[in-house]
Amino acid sequence: MPKALSAQLRKQFTMQQFIQPCKQIVHTMEPLVSRGNKPLELTFEQQLTALILFHLEEHRSGQELLQFLEEDDVARTIAGAPPEGIKQSTFYEAINTRGLDQMAHVFRELCRIAADKLPFEHKHLGDIIAIDGSMVEATLTMEWADYRGGVNKAKAHVGFNLNRGIPMKIYLADGKSDERPYVSTILQPGETGVLDRYYQCYRDFDQWQTEGKHFVCRIKASSRKTCLYENAITPDSPVFYDAVVLLGTKGINQTVQPVRVIGYRVDGKRYWLASDRFDLTAEDIMTIYKLRWNIETFFGWWKQHLNVYHRLTRSAYGMMVQLLAGLITYLLLVIYCHDEFNEPVSLRRVRQLRNAIRTESRHPDFDPFECMLERHNLKNYSYAKT
């Protein structure tokens, strides 16, 4: 006999509550319109919900997801799928040809909702955005994703808001493209980009300052420094060097605008940072770079626990749709964990959510239709603009 759920438990754990932020966004979007007279077999809401279930339930392939939607009554109802499930051809056609603009819109709006809810940490450091790329395994047929000889990869360039602990922007590029131009695209004036050593480029340091965009970037110890003046070092600080310099070789690649360089030791290892944050202490700049590790933690968690990089498609378009759906799922988890527990995302809470959804589905009073993305004026959502 199914175990009864307490009112408090039912209030805390519902699929309806989990996807509520998406409901608010989807129902204010302009309905999609078909190019022809034939209704689509898969609406955007169905596509979005199916992909959320794909990541939330850790499915490892599109076939596994489609079988789940075919055989599980509650999952099929949550996704708004027909009784026979979603056809394989319908599912992959949708991912590869439509929904990208709508996914991007939902992602941007969820970022805004999450940013409004989450506490703003490290206020005295200003808006700090870690920027890094994450490699996506590709197949030999994905020629657009070639990265280097013998290895096929695509690269997702992500801007991660360190104040809120959430991803804010993403761009997908073929593996052969340079990462550095994405810094100017991701950063907004007044924000501080936090970058690893690969992004060291003296010309970019000048450009970012001209654009009013700040940076804290790790540089090579061998970087040539022409000292303009030195700042005082705090006693007993791990900082051993703090100076305003011109980086590079004069007449070849030297920076036009002065750059602050910080040198410090951690566990016997020396680190060198370049920055234009003249308003902060050297220790503050150290802290900013230390926070950069949060984006690495995010990438690892995102890949391991949401199976984001199990490819559903081989096209660049479809890959971007899947990545955005993975980010949407993560943001929903961030909002859910904050609203329900006032905690950051954790695997424990994700497991609780998965178990609660399954438990509620067995309760005699459970109404799976409450979990669906409501479809006001359903006929308006039966078509899509591709």
- Residue 187: the pLDDT is 95
Task: Say how far apart CA 278 and CA 129 lie, in whole Å.
Answer: 18
pLDDT, tens digit, for every residue of 307-357?
777 778 878 888 899 899 999 999 999 999 999 899 999 889 888 888 877
Helix crossing, 88-97 with 62-71: angle to 10°?
A: 130
Beta strands in 162-258 (DSSP E): 166-174, 192-195, 214-218, 225-230, 239-247
Question: pLDDT grade, residue 214 (50/70/90)?
Answer: very high
Q: What is the pLDDT of residue 14?
A: 66
pLDDT at 122 over 50: yes
Average pLDDT over residues 365-379: 46
pLDDT at 363: 57
CA distance 347 to 349: 5
Arithmetic mean of pLDDT over the chain: 83
pLDDT tens digits for range 64-111: 888 887 777 777 777 777 777 788 888 888 888 888 999 999 999 999
201 Rama class: left (phi>0) / alpha (psi -120 to 50) / beta:
beta
Cα 378 from chain centroid (whole Å)? 31
Residue 171 or residue 379, greater confidence: 171
Q: pLDDT tens, 139-181? A: 666 666 655 666 667 788 999 999 999 999 999 876 666 778 8
Task: Output the pLDDT for position 234.
Answer: 87
Angle between helix 316-341 and 44-56 (nearest 10):
70
